[in-house]
Amino acid sequence: MKPWLQLFFTCIFLIWHTEAEFFTSIGQMTDLIYAEKDLVQSLKEYIRAEEIKLSQIKSWAEKMDVLTSKSTSDPEGYLAHPVNAYKLVKRLNTDWLELENLVLQDTTNGFIANLTIQRQFFPTEEDETGAAKALMRLQDTYKLDPETLSRGNLPGTKYRSSLTVGDCFGMGKTAYNDGDYYHTVLWMEQALKQHDEGEDTTVSKVEILDYLSYAVFQFGDLHRAMELTRRLISLDSAHERAGSNLRYFEKLLEKEREEEEKEKSVNKTNTTTEPVVQSGAYERPLDYLPERDIYEALCRGEGVKMTPRRQKRLFCRYHDGNRNPHLLIAPFKEEDEWDSPHIVRYYDVMSDEEIEKIKQLAKPRLARATVRDPKTGVLTVASYRVSKSTFWISESECYLLQQSLAVANYGMGGQYEPHFDFSRRPFDSTLKSEGNRLATFLNYMSDVEAGGATVFPDFGAAIWPKKGTAVFWYNLFRSGEGDYRTRHAACPVLVGCKWVSNKWFHERGNEFLRPCGRTEVD
């Protein structure tokens, strides 16, 4: 019988007041006549302003009524589209605040009181920033241009959604504030493109060009930075910063020309300066992850090293655990996903009822997933792990469980970049009591419309989520040494909502189920 079968069986928001005695003087009182006339004019202006305001509120309410009617009919399906998820966070953090400021001028306090109470549960600025970065992560991983994301042209989407000029501008500002000029350029260019096409917006071209010209300058594209700055000044000749920037750019350009002339005179050769590309296509900066290109290619289904020869060594079978009484009538459906290291998938591991019960238990306790700092051993959040998780749901909480589970939910752009499941840290307290993580049993509790694969960059494998199935692999060799080939990642969810649950088997208690081999890598 296979070791995991003995270890695991799976059943987771004016008053005007004056001290002057005007009644003693008709002359003074005549002044009040004009004051009253002025008040009437002010009142009329107030009424006109209120009518405009009410018209704006009514228009907003009608738009939101249509939107919420659609979103509440299928919340999870609606949020499966990452643009819908981003715009929900942006609306609640930014747009509703603007509406609040508008309504606050009214004497009606009911809505404000309710909104004030509800705001404590609204997304924060940090949430909006995180949602914007998630869209950028999807953009990079799946090689999506801003036009594709802005128009909402994503595979497997049930609800169509698009980004406005303001949304694109907001994306660019988020990147700019983070010092990410690569995405600043991409999203400010998209905002400018939609603005040039005549889209109605409160964002001005001057604002967009201000950010865009500086971000382009950060890439060293001096010619294009000057071109964009001149366009900005043509729209707003009094823009002080733009004028200052243009003079600075001109000085830099003149300095470049002087240096080129000096170089020509020294070399006595007629060299020509290579023209700067005016398309605005800049290289994505390198980051901390050495296998970034391989990892993201596998997430897109590219570069999978499954050859026909290797495919012939993979089989599917019924498994009764060496005639285990529990499995004789309903044996497990086992399928090889990879030959070396051996990864298998099991089918019909969880029923829909079991999955919903586990999700129900987990949802109230979901919190931002953490990782352990390799230097201090302290748990902390990290950009490379973006999910909500709960540790643990025990068997005592659910009659369906015979083992504790760690449940995770990957939402918009949710991911876990390449990592090992086994510990390489001497301060890990579980090493002494339970031993290292011998094996991983990963349950897929949902289908994912696009993205969300589990990939192994070392040997080029990509395993796609299938609801009700589970995959199993060993993290350690029989010697107890870590199998570094098992470094794996959870790809960002492009469209959909990914639920998984983990069970890690540790060395303690499994010594006889998987005894040591003769060599270090057996």
Quick one: 299 exposed, middle or buried, by C-beta within 10 A (0-12, 13-18, 19+)? buried
Q: Above 50 in pLDDT, residue 20?
A: no
Give the span between the Cα atoms of 343 and 474, in whole angstroms.
8
Task: Give mean pLDDT, residues 235-263.
Answer: 90
pLDDT digits (tens, 9 = 90+) for 314-331: 999 998 888 888 888 889
With contact defined as beta carbons under 8 Å apart, do 143 and 284 qualify?
A: no
Better pLDDT: 45 or 387? 45
pLDDT for 380 equals: 53
| 3-state SS string for 409-420 | EECCCCEEEEEC
pLDDT for 339 equals: 94
Better pLDDT: 24 or 465? 465
Give the span between the Cα atoms of 501 and 389, in whole angstroms.
9
DSSP 3-state of 94: helix
With contact defined as beta carbons under 8 Å apart, do 441 and 48 qualify?
A: no
Q: Above 90 in pLDDT, residue 243?
A: yes
pLDDT for 1 equals: 39
pLDDT for 187 equals: 97
330 DSSP assignment: S
Give the span between the Cα atoms of 54 and 357, in whole angstroms.
45
Which are the contacts of 505, defined by CB distance < 8 A and separation ≥ 6? 3, 4, 7, 8, 437, 438, 439, 440, 441
Query: 272 pLDDT band (50/70/90 cuts)?
Result: very low
Give the span between the Cα atoms of 459 and 337, in whole angstroms.
13
pTM, to two decimals = 0.76
Query: 139 pLDDT band (50/70/90 cuts)?
Result: very high
pLDDT for 11 equals: 34
Mean of the per-residue pLDDT values of the chain: 82
Which are the contacts of 463, defined by CB distance < 8 A and separation ≥ 6? 337, 343, 345, 453, 454, 455, 471
Query: 427 pLDDT band (50/70/90 cuts)?
Result: low
* Element of type H or E holding 501: strand 498-506
pLDDT for 202 equals: 94
- Closest Cα to residue 129, out of 471, 413, 343, 459? 413
How many Å from the N-terminal Cα to the C-terminal Cα in the chain? 19
Q: Above 70 in pLDDT, residue 377?
A: no
Better pLDDT: 404 or 109? 404
Give the span between the Cα atoms of 325 and 221, in whole angstroms.
72
Q: Above 60 in pLDDT, residue 470?
A: yes
Give the span between the Cα atoms of 372 and 223, in whole angstroms.
46
Residues above pLDDT 90, as percent of the chain: 50
192 DSSP assignment: H
Better pLDDT: 515 or 463? 463
Task: Give mean pLDDT, residues 74-92.
Answer: 92
Quick one: 253 exposed, middle or buried, by C-beta within 10 A (0-12, 13-18, 19+)? middle
pLDDT digits (tens, 9 = 90+) for 431-461: 878 899 999 999 999 999 999 999 999 999 9
Task: Give mean pLDDT, residues 134-140.
Answer: 94
Q: 37 — alpha (psi -120 to 50), left (phi > 0) or beta? A: alpha
Task: Give mean pLDDT, residues 55-76.
Answer: 92
* Residue 277 β-bridge partners: none
Buried b (16+ CB within 10 A) or exposed e, 392-401: bbeeeebebb
Helix 96-103 to helix 110-119 angle (10° resolution) is 150
pLDDT digits (tens, 9 = 90+) for 99-119: 888 887 665 445 556 667 777
Q: Which residue has the tokens 């042209």?
A: 153
Say if strands 332-338 and 343-347 run parallel, antiparallel, or are unpaired.
antiparallel
pLDDT for 292 equals: 93
Query: 260 pLDDT band (50/70/90 cuts)?
Result: confident
DSSP 3-state of 401: strand
Give the span between the Cα atoms of 169 and 187, in whole angstroms.
7
Q: Which residue has the tokens 């790809």?
A: 491
Task: Return the beta strands (E) in 312-469 as ranges.
Answer: 316-319, 332-338, 343-347, 367-368, 371-372, 379-380, 385-386, 388-393, 405-410, 415-419, 437-444, 450-451, 454-456, 461-463
* Element of type H or E holding 126: helix 125-141
**Ranges 144-148, 180-184, 301-305, 365-369: which has the least confidence:** 365-369
Give the span between the Cα atoms of 79 and 89, in whole angstroms.
11
Query: 389 pLDDT band (50/70/90 cuts)?
Result: low
Task: Give mean pLDDT, residues 111-130.
Answer: 75
pLDDT digits (tens, 9 = 90+) for 149-181: 999 988 888 888 899 999 999 999 999 999 999
Q: What sign for the dihedral angle of Cα 212, 214, 217, 223?
A: positive
